[in-house]
Amino acid sequence: MPSPTAVAALPPIRMTQVAATEAVRAGVADGTSVRRLAQITGWSVGWVSELAKEFRDKANLPAQPSRDELDALQECIDALDSLEDTTRQRVLVYLSDRFGIH
């Protein structure tokens, strides 16, 4: 049971759509992550992600891997490290065959 004096964090203030659009445009230009832009603007990750994609496409910038994708990749690497050598080798061969990595 939470303490009666505990105070919940206030939700972020949501920027106007115009201000959020400009913040996303600037964030895309300087490499700020979609998740961080969503936190800054108060808009959803989905909305920010779509807008960021549009700006990247217009500026011919490469897609930026999300923090979630990078975290998931690190978890996979950590899991591989915990496997026995023969098992790890089988997994790597499978992934190489599956995704055409050579």
Domain segments of the chain as ranges = 17-59, 67-99
Angle, CA 16 vertex, CA 19 and CA 44 arms, to 5°? 95
pTM: 0.52
Q: What is the pLDDT of residues 36-92, one digit of tens each?
A: 999 999 999 999 999 999 988 888 877 666 666 777 778 888 888 888 999 989 988
Distance CA 47, CA 71 (A): 21
Q: Residue 19: what residue type?
A: A
Structure token pair of residue 94 = 């499978």
